[in-house]
Structure 1
Amino acid sequence: MIRCVFVLDLFNGSAVHALRGEREKYRPIQETSKIVVTCDPLAILDLLRPKEVYVADLDRIMGTGDNLDLIGEIAREAETMADVGISSTGELDLLPPSVKPVLGTETGSFDLLEEASSRRDAVVSIDLFGGAVLARDPALRVPPLDLIRRLNPLPLKEIILLSLDRVGTSAGLDEIFLWKAARLSAHPLLLGGGVKDGSDLDRLEDLGIAGALVATAVHNGKIPLEALR
C-alpha cells in the first residue's frame, strides 16, 4: 500500500471538512464523519493514530489568525507537514524544525521555493483548480507539467499535486495527468484531492505516485485506518 498522509484542515482550532476549496463553507468534521464525534484535532489523532499528517492552517492561509501552537502539539503525535501560507523565507521559522514546511504555489513565489528548499526539508504544493496552477507569481503560473519540470533541479523533499476543486468530493483520479506527472518528476509525488477508496490508492501506486493525502475517504469509511498507520 502506498503512503497515506492523513489531512487535518484547521480552522479556529478545530478540524473541519474541506470541500472544493470553498473555505467559507467548511464545517466541523464531526458533522460529516462516520468515525469521529469531535472536531478536536488532538482527540482525532489519539483515536486514528496516523503515522503521517498534513496540516493546513486555514486561518493563517486566509490571514485571519493562526493555529501554530496547535501544529506544534500535533507534531509531537505524528510526522507532520504543514501549509501555513508561507510567502517569505523568514516565515519558515514559524514552524518547529520537526515540521516539514509545505510551500504552496497559491501563496509563494518561485524565488521562495528555491531559497526555502536550500534551507529546510521543504515540500512544494502545486495548488490546482480546474487543472490550472493557482499562483500569484507569474513564474509559477504555467501548465502544471511544465512547473514539475522546472522544479526538478530543486532539493525538495516531495511535491504535492493538490487539486482543490476535487478536495472532499471523492471524484476519483485524473489518470492521464498523473501518469505524465510521475514520469516527468524527479521528486516523489503525493496526490491531494479526489481519492475515493482503497482501489484509488492501488491505482495511484500503478501510476507511479508515491502517496496520497486522504481525509474524506477515511471519514466515510472507504479507506481503512490501517492504511494510515
Structure 2
Amino acid sequence: MQVIPVIDLLDGHVVRAVRGERSAYRPIQSRLAASSEPLAIAAALLEASGASTLYIADLGAILRHGAHASTLAAVRAALPGVELWLDAGFTDYASMRALFDRIDAHGDAHAPTAPQLATLVPIFGTESLRDIDALRASQADGLAPILSLDHRAGQLLTAAELDPSSAWWPSRVIAMTLDQVGSYAGPDLASFERIRSRAAAHTTVIGAGGIRNRDDMAAAARTGATAWLVASALHDRHIDATRSDSTPA
C-alpha cells in the first residue's frame, strides 16, 4: 500500500495535526527535520516515505486566514516530478483557479526558468465545497481533481447540500475521518470500507488518518486500500521508506 505523506500549513509553519482540532495545532517537532520550515519538512517526508506524492492542507486558506501562495510556489519549484495534492478549502472552481493562478505568479519569482515544476492537483473537501460542478470544470481544465469526503464523529461534513449519490464522484476519492488525524488511535477502517462499497468500479478510494505503524498499514491494505495519507507515524519514524510500498496483506 502506498504511503502519501501529509503536511499542514499554518502561519508559515508545518504544524502537527491533533484529531482535526485546528486550534490545537502547533509547529511540528519532527524526528525527520530540525525545523518546521515547509520545504525542509516536505523534502524529509518524501525521503522518509519513498513517495512521489505529497498532500498539502493549507490551513491558512481553509480557515480563511490567507493562503500560503508563495510557500506553495517555492515547494512546487523545489520538487520537480512530485505530485502535490492541494487542499485549500476550495468552495468552487473559481476559488481553485484563483489560487492556482496566484501560485503560478509567485512561481515566476522562485524559479523563472525552471523547466520542471511539481504537478498541482486540487482537492475539493466536502466541508468547504459548495458547487459540485467544480470537479467537472477542473477536469475540463486538464486537471485531475480529487474529492475528500470529510467526516467527523461519523457524520459527513458539508458546506452545502450535496448529491447523496456517488454519481458525481471523480476517479479518486479520499475517505477523510478528521477524528483520526494525528490521533494515534488507529485507522477508521469501517468508514473506509463503507465509502469504498459506494464507489463506482472506476473510483479509487484513498484512506486518511490514524495510521500508527506497519500493522495498521497491513490492516488497511486488507480492506483493499491502495494508498493512505500519513503524517505522525512518519515524523515519529514508525514507518520507514524501505518498506512503505510493500505492506504485507
* One-letter amino acid of the structure 2 residue matched with residue 165 of structure 1: D
Residue 175 of structure 1 aligns to which amino acid in structure 2?
A: L
> In the TM superposition, what whole-angstrom CA distance separates every residue of 1:117-144 from its partner, at most 9, and x where no partner exists?
444310001111011111121226xxxx
> In the alignment, does 2:123 pair up with 1:102?
yes
Q: Among 134, 153, 158, which residue is 1:112 paired with?
A: 134
Q: By how many angstroms is 1:152 displaced?
A: 4.0
The answer on whether the counterparts of 2:19 and 2:182 sit within 8 Å (CA) in structure 1 is yes
Per-residue CA deviations over 1:5-56 (Å, capped at 9, x if unaligned) read: 11010012210001111111111102xx233221011112333434210000
Aligned amino acid, residue 134 of structure 2: L
Q: How does 1:188-203 map to 2 (within 5 A)?
A: 188-203=204-219
Three-state SS of the structure 2 residue aligned to 1:126 is: strand
1:209 has 2:221 as partner = no
CA distance in 1, matches of 2:95, 2:229: 24
Offset from partner CA, 1:60-83 (integer Å, 9 cap, x none)? 111111112222222341321000
Whole-Å separation in 2 of the counterparts to 1:85 and 1:170: 25
Q: Distance in 1 between matches of 2:13 and 2:242?
A: 24
Secondary structure, counterpart of 2:31 in structure 1: coil
- Aligned partner of 2:110 in structure 1 is none
- Report the aligned-residue RMSD: 2.1
Which secondary structure state, in structure 1, belongs to the residue aligned with residue 151 of structure 2?
strand
Of the structure 1 ranges 93-102 and 4-13, higher mean CA displacement relative to structure 2 is found in 93-102
Structure number with larger C-alpha Rg: 2
Aligned partners of 1:46 and 1:172: how far apart in 2?
26
| Range 45-54 or range 122-131, more displaced | 45-54
Distance 1:217 1:152, change over 3 A: farther
Q: Indicate if the aligned counterparts of 1:182 and 1:207 stay in contact, CA closer than 8 A.
A: no
In structure 1, the partner of 2:115 is none
Letter in 2 for 1:10: L
Does residue 151 of structure 1 match 2:166? yes
- Alignment of 1:6 with 2:10, yes or no, is no
8 Å Cα contact 1:54/1:82 also seen in 2: yes
Tell me the amino acid that sits aligned with residue 193 of structure 1: G
1:149-180 Cα offsets, whole Å, 9 max, x none, are x23454x2411111111110111133333233
Report the secondary structure of 2:40's partner residue: helix
2:15 aligns with 16
Q: Identity of paired residues, percent?
A: 28
Instruction: Give 1:98 deviation, angstroms.
Output: 2.3
1:121 aligned counterpart, secondary structure = coil
Aligned to 1:54: 55
> Which segment is superposed worse, 172-181 or 37-46?
172-181
Alignment of 1:120-199 (within 5 A): 120-139=143-162, 147=164, 150-154=165-169, 156-186=170-200, 187-199=203-215
Alignment partners' CA distance in 1, 2:67 and 2:87: 11
> Are the equivalent residues in 1 in contact too, given 2:166–2:198 (CA < 8 A)?
no
Structure 1 contact 52–228 (Cα < 8 Å) conserved: no
In 2, the alpha carbon distance for the partners of 1:114 and 1:207 equals 29
Look up the SS of the partner of 1:202 in the other structure: helix
- Contact 2:13 2:37 (C-alpha < 8 Å) held by counterparts: yes
Asked if the contact 1:4/1:227 (under 8 Å) is kept, the reply is: no
1:83 to 78, 84, 87: 87
1:36 counterpart (27, 33, 36)? 33
What letter is aligned with 1:92?
A: M
Distance in 1 (CA, whole Å) between partners of 2:23 and 2:224 is 34
SS state at 2:187 partner = coil
- How many aligned residue pairs are there? 217
Q: Any gaps of 5 or more consecutive residues in structure 2?
A: 105-117
User: Residue 152 and residue 201 in structure 1: after superposition, are their counterparts in 2 closer, same or farther (change >3 A)?
Assistant: farther
